[in-house]
Amino acid sequence: MCVRHTHQLVWAPKYRKWVLRGAILQRVSELLCEVVGHHGFEMEEWEVDKDHVPLYFSFPLRYSISAVVRLLKAVSAKEIREEFPEVRKQLWGVEFWDDG
Predicted local confidence at residue 3, as pLDDT:
60
Report pLDDT digits (tens) over 9-33: 888 777 777 877 888 888 888 888 8
Domains belonging to the chain, first-starting first, are 4-91 (3.30.70.1290)
Q: How many CB atoms lie within 10 A of CB 63?
A: 15
**Contact predicate 56/45, CB 8 Å:** yes
Handedness of CA 4, 97, 33, 25 (dihedral sign): positive
**Per-residue confidence band for 39, with pLDDT thresholds at 50, 70 and 90:** confident
**Contact predicate 4/61, CB 8 Å:** yes
Q: Is residue 77 pLDDT above 70, yes or no? A: yes
Percentage with pLDDT > 70 across the chain: 92
**Contact predicate 96/87, CB 8 Å:** yes
Look at 95 and 39; give whichever has higher pLDDT. 39
Radius of gyration, CA atoms only, the chain: 13
Beta pairing, strands 42-46 & 53-60? antiparallel
The span from the CA of 36 to the CA of 33, in Å, is: 5
